[in-house]
Amino acid sequence: MILSARRSTAAVTGLAVTQIVSYGTLYYSFSILEPAMAQEFGQSREWLYAAFSGTLLIGGIVSPWSGRWADRFGAGRVMTFGSLAATLSLLLCVLSQNWLWFAPALVTTGMATPFILYNTAFAVLVQIDPQMAPRRITYLTLIAGFSSTLFWPLATRMLTVLSWRDIYIFYAGLQFFICFPIHFWLSRLTRRSPKLHGEPVEEPSKVIGGSLPLESRRTALLLIMTAFSFASFSLSAMLVHLVPVLAAVGVGTSAVLVGGLFGPSQFAARLVNMVFGDKLSAMSIAILSTALIPLSFLMLIVPTPMPLVWALCCSLCFSAWGLGSTASCRGHCRWCCSAIRDTAKFLARSPRHG
């Protein structure tokens, strides 16, 4: 289905809203709410992040099904189901009265993430209009990159007047009353993949053979998947802990404000990529963005007489990921690597006995 310009803009805007809400409620807010959760359940931060790792692991396991269902039933329907699943999983966390119930409930939030985050959102845009999808995906990532900028301060402010349970109830309401209607509307605009059901498909008028010989393409694919997985591993390890890390290295109470620069940095990097990306090869952009990630980590060992300036530099270096993220191999590899990353951090920080 190919939409008019007005409805196409509405589709991208609607998806941008649901991506901001979904990333904010299911991912970015956790590091802000985690201390209150740990205090209530009497658990260490390591155990809370171990449970959070479980959400990423289950998301990686489930993600292949989200792709198959998006092809079979339509990506909009899958996102509609994901909104309901996210709502129920957040309410399960609210209803958990002890750690033994809360940890599995938190893990269930990971089952919803593959159905409502970028992977399936991109599929919606492709199913609506394959020819215009690349440009619309860029627009979507430009807007949705502000999720951390909005939800880190929002969660911090709400935690001063509400409990984490009240905040999760509010988040469940956002999923049900905002994301669910938008995804339901999108489900009426998307359709299942015709190639899986024997429907007629127009053959492309131009076939691009590629620059690599056929016998080298499998090796190249494995190499690029490995590279993106390791890059995602290292960046995600810092991103999920960014606000606590900024506070620990001297930024103090401004950690949330400075961490919020990550969103505008992503926007700037992706805007540069959209405007000038055609002049650079995809490989050049990937090399540039990957090389800048360790540079941002080196900022951690620099003396911090000017912590806000340091944090700004760190955030701008993180923005390099925005240059490569739109071309990255997302989904199964990223979520599984993120889970392994947090589990490794948990094991490293746990006290050793004997």
Average pLDDT over residues 65-89: 93
The model's pTM is 0.78
Give me the pLDDT at residue 91, please.
97
Whether the predicted pLDDT of 234 surpasses 90: no
Q: What average pLDDT does the segment 72-101 reach?
A: 94
Q: What is the pLDDT of residue 236?
A: 73
The per-residue pLDDT for 210 is 65
The helix (H) or strand (E) run that includes residue 34 is helix 30-41
Domain ranges of the chain: 5-196, 217-349
Quote the CA–CA distance of 138 and 71 in Å, as a whole number: 22
Taking the C-alpha atoms of residue 321 and residue 328, their distance in angstroms, rounded to an integer, is 10
Write down the pLDDT at residue 350: 47
Cβ neighbours, 10 Å, residue 148? 25
Give one word for 163, left, alpha or beta, with left for phi > 0 and alpha for psi -120 to 50: beta
Q: Are the CB atoms for 114 and 210 separated by under 8 Å?
A: no
Alpha carbon distance 316, 326 (integer Å): 17
pLDDT class for 216, splitting at 50, 70, 90?
A: confident
CATH code of 5-196, in short, is 1.20.1250.20
Terminal-residue alpha carbon distance, the chain: 64
Of the given ranges (104-108, 173-177, 202-206, 325-329), which has the lowest mean pLDDT? Answer: 325-329
Distance CA 324, CA 228 (A): 9
pLDDT digit string, tens, across residues 118-138 = 889 999 998 888 888 888 888
What is the reported pLDDT for 98? 93
What pLDDT digit, counting tens, does each position of 255-294 carry?
Answer: 677 666 777 777 777 777 677 666 767 677 777 777 777 7
Residue count (the chain): 354
- In the DSSP assignment, the letter for residue 260 is T
